[in-house]
Structure 1
């Protein structure tokens, strides 16, 4: 049914950058595993779940498959939301009890019970807006963009200039690209507005392949005398990043047992005709400088404490949030860059979907030693989101080092971690360059320094 094109209103509000606590992403909110089943590639460079065309094709295929399985669009939509296995078991329970097995007769979670009625209501409003006092701007029934193909990996900022667009406008059309360039291994498809001059294709074909970087994941076995900070420094990453990659293998205090195998990230450079060149250190002078500052600060702190303490000086600060009318746990979790699950655990909440107005919630936030008082900085920056890095915070340039400075506009759903992963820098670097806290605002401009090879 044509109305299925309206499903992203329920799923993502038509925001291809939307992400959920369950790791769902894109217009159609595919979780990683389902995305892979339906051919949506997810790499360091590219996430097919955010590809407007590919994710729509996958959703069409998935919904068609669900309809063929259950024979009802209501049940197909319920399975899209709740999972086909759950719907199948709910049908089997009703069959065993001699009850009807249509959508309206099944016992399902409240979210799924409301999912189909919400969709039907939206479809009705779109069909008859005047009946419901809704004014919709007309959309011309024609294509608004066209597909173009580069012959190799291309720098997206260069592509934007050729197309007469800002980098932000190009990313809005091509949200699947997670970095500054297309995937080295493809796809090299770029969507541009329909009115882009025809000469653009020729110029795009003539663009040379940029110097490119990939991040590969290696494992490191912890040795006697290792600390989290030393391991992070060795592999050009941060203790916080290692914690995120390895979960429960690393304790909250940063302890890790000898003999444990940790996942670490290292940078490798792809050189034309030679894929074997290994860069031991991050190809970013700024990263090296920030790492040195962090190391010096942390060593001072460690010297003042027990020798048993790890070099990683992340501290936990306890904050309180008073729930206001209209706020959900998801909105509060997003505000503090934590998960709904963590919020529920910290406050012993059994019902994650309902929280009473006026409730005081405990929020536990990790702070690095070099980012103390960031909340004060964030408050002082209200209305002044655009920042320019000071000379002290900017990477120093010399003849050997060529630094590319870019400006990134924060989008809804962005976190410091997701932005750091996009540009292969650390969270600490972004904080240092922008004097910002964990709380980002959509529309805020961040300064990012990248190394050119």
Structure 2
């Protein structure tokens, strides 16, 4: 469900257009509560926006599970492009649960002609099949309209082998959660058959994840989840917690219904975002979902099938025998008892204490991403099989005292190797303890589980993990711009860029502006920071430098770009700068070859094409490898060198006496 307050989300939230809760507005939910099963803390302002406030457009998104992929493939056959202008067969003898409006005038968008009056209601489908059997069905507590799409889905689930296989799997799996879902909907005074929405979204799979990031049985996007108080971090994601996510989905659906007053539109908004539905209603001047679904350009094609699909699933669920699913055995309900577990406890430890399997405990706690309770400062509510809580608590109390681990908060700019070195362990051990995935970036502020160690034991640092050390114990050189910046109340430090750092990340961490960082370091704001760069930062007093890994003035050797010191530095690195006077007709490629310098480097140094013809007397700069200048064979040709290049005057160091400030001192 995507939903965004001011910015609508896709799906359940006020956002774009797409698939149910998941594709909606994103939800990056992170609840202030430290326990996944603790009270959710929804964003009341955002919910008010969804229920009655302004919104904007969003893009449509969709869910993707094995069954839904198969269903999508079948839908391409059921509803081919040539037949997407669907009629609505409503047999006369069938009930019409929603207030019929055919006998009332309809309002159409300006410029759009009204649809021609329907002919006598058919009693057969377009394929010629008898539809009289529909009159015998029990109807769900959602308003059902016998639209052609609804009928096609009913026939698909009843007669098509693919449809039967899909619904069989969904119905079997629903047994694990359907009682809980219906109970939650009932307690919130919502139609219980809205449970069919979870069936269509994920097939009742709590861990379902769509390609666009929608997650859980109700397919919440991160932003929508955040609005409804669903906690999300690397340890736990409440979008996968059936109990809490169902409560959030019920609240979201309630908000959407309050806004639109129609379950058809509420479900459509859950799929494509309430902003998109609002826009369609206003543009085409009708609040009838079924009318909108047949107007060109009004709703995404997926949304025109989404509501009929939910209604069909709800009808089938109420008429299992009529559709031949009466013998499908549902899975046993997954319900358990809560126990309080210490932070950072592995679910394997909980399972052992309860005398059950890790797999069974994990199935009850699908929101725990690392199969371990988060290393927070509070105990975590974990579900265990019914009847196991009492004995489990006693065993866990003993395990708590013997726990060999504790938690550690990663500093901004700190690498996993540095954490491992400081804790006298290995990076591989940390990866195992914290279920760190390949390619996962551990950012500052992340809480990790680490082995316990003597707090008085000094940490061992080496060249690989300590940013203040190099192999030769020399201070690392940092090249800084020629501009001088003076801030009496700030402290200059140097930050080494880590993988995935962005200018905004660094600016936020140091409590400075991105524009300031750009000026201090000659940074292109549109380009990515590269790992290994060293940025100079003038940190304000409000910045807590103890929470980040930085180098101080005394830890580095600062060199101003373009100064004599700058050139000497590179000479010490194995390159020597020489200025050569060219002969008429020479090219920088030819000159570079004499000095063993590549054409590409010569182009970069001299800012001209490698084969461009030079005039007599032109000066060419060469950075030759090694302290000796050109190759011995070419020495005679360098007898006469031009005057040394003019080196810009170096600005005084930061700690020198008063120098004009390019930026005003900040208060």
Scaled to the shorter chain, the TM-score interval is: 0.3 to 0.5
Q: TM-score, normalised by structure 2?
A: 0.33
Greater Cα radius of gyration, structure 1 or 2: 2
More strand per residue: 1 or 2?
A: 1
Taking structure 1 as the reference length, the TM-score comes to 0.48
